Amino acid sequence: MNHKDYLLWIINHISPTDNQIHSPDSLSSNDWLNIFNIALEEGLAVYLYYCLRQLFSEIIIPEQINQKFVKASQNLIAKNTVIFHEMEKVLRTLNDNDIPVIVLKGAYLSTVIYPHNGLRPMGDIDLLVHKRDLKKVRTILLDMDYQQKIQLDIEMECERSRHLRPFINDKSVKIEIHWTITEKPDQLNELARNKYWDRAQSIRISNNDVYVFSAEYLIAYLCYHSYYCHFFKLGLKSFCDIAETLRHFQHEIDFNKLFSYSFELNSNRIVYTTLCVVSDLFGLRLPGNPMSKFKPEGFNQDRVDSVKGWILGEFDEVPSCDRNIANVWNNSKTGIGMLVYVSKRIFLSKLELSTKYNVPVNSVKIYIFHLVRIKDLFFQYSRSLFRVILNNTEMKKSIKTINKKSELEDWLSI
């Protein structure tokens, strides 16, 4: 079995169908070790162990590997217990100060979607508040002995990111306070952001009344997040989250609402493609094929297969290559085209130089940074560019992969 085979085995035993389940009795000790290590890396070791114990009345796992699963489960329960305890205190304090909160991602998924909150790893606590409450929330968290490495003016923070810089306490619990959920802070206007709250519903988490997204908005958001944060590089865990959410709400989902919300997030193609990938990987079959009428223009199975390829590591062995180098290659068929592209990348506008090198746009010194830019590009790209010039076979293969990824990114972003 190779890496892809192990990943598929893990998926099939987390979300089994009748024709996918294979008795683990035939696995060797080395297979079990690889399965554990890969599942742990993907954030799914504990959930896989839980699912295996649900699937098989008796399962023979080598003792040494079984102890690894048990230890991982104990560690996760201990860590999540601390996180939920700290979250309870924070939510209670925010409630006492009349600050409405939407609990995002992990805390909600662990509590509501998964069988219990000791099955899904949580890296941090993600909370969404109104922009008007950001300053007050920061003050509250600092008073609760949370720290920020850097504190900027709230407006500067909002221009920089969709959330404030992380808050961390002495128990290493990290909290991210979001004011918007889109990757680009200015992607949605205030009216559109207020719709978050229209799509929210009240539930009780960690002994506090909070808000969470409706099933349809949650699914649209999870699909959006899986793409925009790391181009589907969050690993299997993010797709498992979507699969479990679909399974949990399968009889309640209104797909008209779901795709209406995806348009609100400017991510219809992302949501549709991600749901197709999840359906393929996890064997989910939604009754009545409810997505068919929402199929976006230009969609085809190749796009689904490409995303699955990145998830399953099919391109991991292809040498890495920057998109800029790929563009140099793409424009190299005409010498003029290559020169135009390279000159645009080297000689940035004053505004671009000002942003990149943190120098006043009207300063005379800004012209010096054209030379700094040439130096930086030389050290960053000279080796790869030399391989392009030599028509290196591995580089051509890498560029082909980058072009395929770039085309998919461009299509998804429309």
Q: Among candidates 402, 29, 47, which has minimal Cα distance to 235?
A: 47
Residues 185 and 209 sit within 8 Å (Cβ to Cβ): no
And the tokens for 396? 């051509």
**pLDDT value of residue 318:** 46
125 torsion bin: left (phi>0), alpha (psi -120 to 50), beta (else): beta
Distance CA 291, CA 302 (A): 18
Residue tagged 């680009």 (tokens): 184
Residues 94 and 137 sit within 8 Å (Cβ to Cβ): yes
Rounded to 5 degrees, φ, ψ at 205 are: -130, 135
For the chain, list the domains and their CATH numbers. Answer: 3-61 (no CATH), 78-311 (3.30.460.40), 323-412 (no CATH)
Helix ranges restricted to H, 251-392: 255-264, 268-282, 301-311, 323-331, 335-346, 350-357, 368-389
DSSP class of 332: T
**pLDDT value of residue 49:** 96
**pLDDT value of residue 389:** 55
Distance CA 77, CA 114 (A): 14
Residues 399 and 294 sit within 8 Å (Cβ to Cβ): no
- pLDDT tens sequence for the chain (414 residues): 888 899 999 999 998 765 556 667 788 999 999 999 999 999 999 999 999 998 887 878 999 999 999 999 999 999 999 999 999 999 999 999 999 999 998 899 999 999 999 999 998 999 999 999 999 999 999 999 999 988 888 888 887 788 899 999 999 999 999 998 887 656 665 666 677 888 899 999 989 999 999 999 999 999 988 887 656 666 789 999 999 999 999 889 999 999 999 988 888 999 999 999 999 999 888 777 888 889 999 999 999 998 888 888 776 554 455 555 555 555 555 556 556 656 766 777 877 777 777 777 788 888 888 888 888 877 776 666 665 555 556 666 676 777 777 788 888 887
And the tokens for 333? 């068929």
Entry pTM: 0.81
**pLDDT value of residue 45:** 97
Rounded to 5 degrees, φ, ψ at 343 are: -65, -35
**pLDDT value of residue 306:** 87
Residues 12 and 55 sit within 8 Å (Cβ to Cβ): no
**pLDDT value of residue 197:** 87
Residues 176 and 163 sit within 8 Å (Cβ to Cβ): yes
Residues 384 and 395 sit within 8 Å (Cβ to Cβ): yes
**pLDDT value of residue 342:** 63
And the tokens for 377? 């590009």
The residues near 256 (Cβ < 8 Å, ≥ 6 apart) are none
